[in-house]
Structure 1
């Protein structure tokens, strides 16, 4: 084993003067300087005699904590002994949500590597950009997804190790781990050693590399889940977000394992499969996006979800109509939240006891937030402005000082969202900074128009964008997915417009309506409005 490290990632961290101000202020947020987060998330359960407790379930497999621990240790041995690996190397994971993905994630950190988790829908071009930007040297890849990865030509990527996420085939990784020891001495990382690099889903240009320390991984486990979920070892988590998305990583791996609970992983989580898992496996906590909650509300009647006690939504704002539909169908309140890849996970939310339907919530324990104007001055309650956040975690872009200066100002993370705060400290989403439509001098938030349209009986889904107009500057344009596609007509559009003007402020009505079969979405269910805008300007 080589005795030196790859310092590429640490050498490209932003200068300390450009970092967000992070603070703890509570004993729960204090961790030792010598820290490998795997020891708290996984290894301690073995040491405490809980190795036979279930860690991961799927529809076809069950892994105990001990089985996960042993497989992660074997993966770490493979890296160190077979793949010319040194601590600090960036290691990519390409797979759907399955147990081997989790074992690889832990194994990389045990060996002292930095995880770059990706989503299955990414293709050669996107993967190539990530590999070049992060100088990724190793990759673990589900063999069903290897074609796009092997097509990448890069001088940095030296090793691609395939595995079978389904557990039905013997692939390269299974062969290599077969005779490896089931114990491993974790690399002695520090609290501020980098653990993961997350690429933002930017709409233009190259995605940005966000980075997080080992201590950050544990800090978020002391924040949102303790504040809003109150997990116990008997909880079973599930959800639809990929593990390559920090919303999914937290909700489906970090939070359940931090509290000794279990997770139910679904490789292709359709609404029906989510409901089936909740019913058949007594799932108690579910994470998914607003678009999925909308569909789940229409299908839930056929399933027994009596085990479900916590419902979490993030990724984009939760429309009040979706919240109401789910509550009316189930009696359960969806916990809304806003987080970001830059800050790692949710920083504004609420639990059911303090929830205000339609509001995102309050800054949770470990964070503080305020609303500022374009000059950085805090605005009065009720006034829309830019959301600024700081707390236990913060933005650390790698190799991008200009972007770091944009996101972090005066020690605060500036998220790019427009919010307003009421006098009781609740934050209400107004718009993404680039989704504010200015038409004839009126500021119109796309989400406000969408929220009204979703209450129309004929509208299944919608997305609103601004389109250029010589007279008004911009027009409100609505893309609609109808429940009955046969109703799509110019006359029906006029009826919807007249209806809108009768139920909401007339100046906000969509002056143009376009019917579509489906809306473009990310793998996490977030509507890609920029694609609709590009269609308009093309």
Structure 2
């Protein structure tokens, strides 16, 4: 492990609450591109150096009414930095809560916090006061930057939390005291805080698929190292790319895909005025000439009819992550768009994708191979690698890894230096990884192992099924039974005849013992704001 260099963060709150060193993951930097300097500021590296890479005059951030070049974005970020430091006395290491949807203003605010040496704590737009209160309690931010349309819940959350002293609104250019009006009065020059590579850039709160969210800590080195892994070796974006997508900037899938990775490549990002619907995403792809799209499998499935009807213009890469990609969804999107999905598995704790394949490297049913810079294996409960073709738990090491903020669950995620994202996989003889389920979602029924996602994939191949979620339900005779929750397409009745039709369909598609012995029809499935299915809620419901 590298010796730490001198920190610029005088506020040691996060540093003092990192896990004990013996609980840290191994961090590997063997590849030449991962030999990063001991001191740098992430935003200075990605934004301030854009002109010397020839990108100063190229578009960086786009919206329906505004386009900012890299040089213009830097000027706006520097003005916001001056506001943070001069108006609010922000010190390196202070946490700043960010609340907003995907917009140019939200992106500029995040970059400014990190450039000043602050710790960005971005939050999902749909979070309510109780959830925001939990984040404030954990991160102890003194300042919040909040979209003008999203202030009500934050104000409720801070009523009995005096630590959050100031809330500044953005996306409110004509309002006195707003971030835009303050920034307009400042000069456009700010020297980036001379952070150590191991200083903290952000706290990323997990999306809550398994319950109460945890705060994952990422340094300046972590984020830049992530840029040198999957984006360099698999995505391979270019300065001519225009990126669109639905994942929130408060989610590391969105932060990487829709801000940090495009900046690393000199590309540009388009942010719409309103959250995407499946139809508006496809229309936007065509209208703005988007070439790269990020969203979750469910969104691609819902967007496929519009892609078939309207085409996808110049789109060349469709990135799927955030939850398991059913092969039925991959093939549906490929048939509708002509594009082979670029699947990937990552984790908030790891910052982004660490297993993935693109183009002619895609193997049907597989997520892909391990991304250069990372090492992954499938292991048993003792951490020993299992034979190829055997179901086990995924373990990963690389240039990023899990460091929770003051969290007893650190010891569950990192064991003997390896990260355990909590997924069950099979690896084949050629090194391809096949997702089975979340490790705690494996269904053991009458001695057989059944992966919920495999049953979901089979159900999704039936023309009546729009969405589905599969869980194990406790059963006295079999230990567990396979239970499915299905959302049907319009015009189909959720009756006993449909139950039998779906059961027979699954028996004919995969091994018959995997069929759902119970099927419940529901109007909607519980999902996080990032689109992930919350199976723990289905288990509670069952």
Match of 1:351 in 2: 358
CA distance in 2, matches of 1:188, 1:499: 61
Q: 2-side partners of 1:368 and 1:292: how far apart?
A: 30
1:329 pairs with one of 317, 328, 336: 336
Q: Partners of 2:40 and 2:9 in 1: how far apart?
A: 19
Instruction: Name the CA distance, whole Å, in 1 between partners of 2:365 and 2:209.
Output: 27
Partner of 1:86: 91
1:110 is matched with which residue?
A: 115
In 1: Cα distance, 2:369 partner to 2:85 partner: 45
Q: Does 1:276 align with 2:279?
A: no
Q: Residue 405 of structure 2 is aligned with which of 393, 398, 402? A: 398
Structure 1 residues 68-127: Cα deviation after superposition (integer angstroms, max 9, x where no partner): 111111111111111132110000110000001111111111111000111101110111
The separation in 2 between residues aligned to 1:163 and 1:61, in whole angstroms, is 16
The range that moved more, 227-236 or 333-342, is 227-236
Change in 2 beyond 3 A, CA 1:257/1:323? same
Give the alignment partner of residue 47 of structure 2, picking from 22, 32, 42.
42
Contact 1:227 1:350 survives alignment (8 Å): no
Aligned-partner SS, 1:226: helix
| Contact persistence 2:468–2:525 (CA under 8 A) | yes
| In structure 1, C-alpha distance between the alignment counterparts of 2:385 and 2:281, rounded to whole Å | 42
Q: Which residue of 104, 120, 123 corresponds with 2:125?
A: 120
Structure 1 residue 224 displacement after superposition: 0.7
Structure 1 range deviating more: 232-241 or 266-275: 266-275
Which residue pairs with 1:418 in the alignment? 424
The verdict on how the C-alpha distance between 1:330 and 1:473 changes in structure 2, with shifts beyond 3 A counting, is same
Whether 1:23 and 2:48 are equivalent positions in the alignment is: no
Indicate yes or no: 2:271 matched with 1:265: yes
Does the CA-based 8 Å contact 1:90-1:138 persist in structure 2? yes
Can you list the C-alpha shifts for 1:492-526, whole angstroms capped at 9, x where unaligned? 21222223223322211111111111111111111
Matched with 1:241 is 247
**Mean alpha-carbon deviation: is it higher for 114-123 or for 11-20?**
11-20
Please report how far the alpha carbon of residue 149 of structure 1 lies from its aligned counterpart in structure 2 after TM superposition: 0.4
**Would you identify which runs of 4 or more consecutive aligned residues in structure 1 move more than 4 Å?**
167-171
Deviates more, 1:109-118 or 1:41-50: 41-50
* Cα 1:64–1:168 shift into 2, 3 Å: farther
Question: Which sections of structure 1, spanning at least 5 residues, go unmatched?
Answer: none
Q: Do the aligned partners of residues 517 and 32 (structure 1) sit closer, same or farther apart at CA in structure 2, a change above 3 Å counting?
A: same
Specify whether residues 373 and 4 from structure 1 end up closer, same or farther in structure 2 by C-alpha distance, changes over 3 A only: closer
Residues 238-287 of structure 1, C-alpha deviations (whole Å, 9 max, x = no match): 11100000000000101111111101113401112211221111111111
Correspondence for 1:194: 200
SS at match of 2:29: coil
Distance in 1 (alpha carbons) for counterparts of 2:174 and 2:537: 38
How far has the Cα of 1:347 moved from its partner? 0.2
1:444-500 C-alpha deviation (Å, 9 max, x unpaired): 111111111111111111111111222222121111111135421122212222232
Residue aligning to 1:254: 260
1:225 Cα deviation (Å)? 1.2
Match of residue 6 from structure 1? 11
**Equivalent residue for 2:144, pick from 116, 139, 148:** 139
Contact 1:211 1:398 in 2 (8 A): yes
Whole-Å separation in 2 of the counterparts to 1:4 and 1:50: 30
Query: Which residue is 1:517 aligned to?
Result: 523
Q: Give TM-score scaled by structure 1 length.
A: 0.96
2:163 matched to 1:156? yes
Q: Deviations 1:44-67 (Å, cap 9, x if unpaired)?
A: 114555332111112232122222
The equivalences for 1:314-393 within 5 A come to 314-393=321-400
For residues 162-183 of structure 1, give each alpha carbon's deviation from its aligned partner in whole angstroms, at most 9, with x where no partner exists: 1117x67666112211211100
What is the CA–CA distance in structure 2 between the aligned matches of 1:114 and 1:102, rounded to whole Å?
14
Q: Is the 8 A contact 1:143 1:171 kept in 2?
A: no
- Residue 218 of structure 1 is matched in structure 2 by 224
Deviations 1:6-48 (A, max 9, x none): 1000111112221111111122111111200111211111455
Q: Aligned partners of 2:208 and 2:336: how far apart in 1?
A: 35
Take 2:35 and 2:525, find their aligned partners in 1: how far apart are those partners?
A: 44
What secondary structure sits across from 1:151 in the alignment? helix
Give how far 1:385 is off. 0.3
Which residue among 302, 310, 313 is the counterpart of 1:303? 310
After TM superposition, give the deviation of residue 147 of structure 1 in Å. Answer: 0.4
- Give distance in 1, aligned partners of 2:162 and 2:478: 51
- 1:287 aligned residue: 294
How many Å separate the matches in 2 of 1:42 and 1:200? Answer: 27
Q: 1: distance between equivalents of 2:410 and 2:427?
A: 25
- Tell me if structure 2 keeps the 8 A contact 1:227–1:351: no
User: What is the number of residues matched between the two proteins?
Assistant: 532
The answer on 1:229 being equivalent to 2:239 is no
**CA distance in structure 2 between the partners assigned to 1:307 and 1:273 by the alignment:** 16
What SS does the corresponding residue of 2:64 show, helix, strand or coil?
Answer: coil
